[in-house]
Amino acid sequence: MDLKEFVKYELSGWKKSESVGLFGVIFLILANAFIVNDSIIAVISAICGILYTTIAGKGKISCYFFGLCGTFCYSWLSFENALWGNLLLYACYYFPMQVWGLFEWSRHLKKNTKEIYKTSLLGRERWKLGLLAVVFVAVSVVLLKFLNDSNPLFDAITTVLSIFGMYLTVKRCIEQWVVWMVVNGLSALMWLNLVLHGAKTWSTFIMWCVYFVLAFYFYFCWRKEMKNYP
């Protein structure tokens, strides 16, 4: 598939409401950044992150190009705000996982739309991942307190669940959206606390709020699509 054909498939299959909503959110982030003099890195991170999440929700492989750029920017923001759990997560886990996801998704594309086939976990797999998440959160809270993390509980929960969420994303599982609902909601609260204490990262807060809404939206979109699978 040549570049022209690739772009054609990536731009197809969008609802008018999805396109309008996406550009509306990007405009909101840019307008907010101008008004509050937000960090340039935060703005780039937010735009790339929202593009990644939206395009991933559409099941299109180009999401990973924006994901890699957003990962780098968010890692820098985490470093500046002493969110060591998030820094390790994005720099040491998200980056290689997105490279893997790029190749993994390319092996599971529908021939007619070039979008991914969606999957679901078995019941026992859900229980196993849930128990592992609880154990890892407890260990992470202790570790992050030792490292003087600015918000160890929220950072631990969002970091651990994000690890599982990214794995489920690469594996194309619908359960990822349930995980992202929790991660995105808590992350929005965490960054709201930071901006209220002087951090110039309003764009990052808006980004997490949009992520939260998108997680609900794409969960129901995927569930509807999967009901029509043979």
pLDDT band at 61 (very low <50, low <70, confident <90, very high): very high
In this prediction, residue 165 carries a pLDDT of 93
pLDDT at residue 188 above 70?
A: yes
d(CA 214, CA 204) in angstroms, rounded, equals 15
In this prediction, residue 74 carries a pLDDT of 84
pLDDT at residue 149 above 80?
A: no
Q: Report the interhelical angle of 202-227 vs 176-196 (nearest 10°).
A: 170
Q: Quick: pLDDT tens for 83-105.
A: 777 788 788 888 899 999 999 99
Element (H, E) at 33: helix 16-36
Q: Quick: pLDDT tens for 5-25.
A: 777 778 788 888 999 998 998
The residue segments making up the domain with residue 87 are: 3-227
pLDDT at residue 145 above 90?
A: no
CA count, 13 A, side-chain hemisphere, 24: 7
CB neighbours (10 Å) of residue 9? Answer: 18
pTM metric for this prediction: 0.84
pLDDT at residue 155 above 70?
A: yes
pLDDT at residue 141 above 80?
A: yes
In this prediction, residue 92 carries a pLDDT of 87
Bridge-partner residues for 119, per DSSP? 173
Mean per-residue pLDDT of the chain:
87
pLDDT band at 2 (very low <50, low <70, confident <90, very high): low
In this prediction, residue 159 carries a pLDDT of 81
Q: Which residue has the higher pLDDT, 111 or 215?
A: 215
pLDDT band at 201 (very low <50, low <70, confident <90, very high): confident
CA count, 13 A, side-chain hemisphere, 151: 19
Give, as one character, the DSSP assignment of residue 109.
B
For the chain, the domain total comes to 1
Q: Which residue has the higher pLDDT, 18 or 38?
A: 18
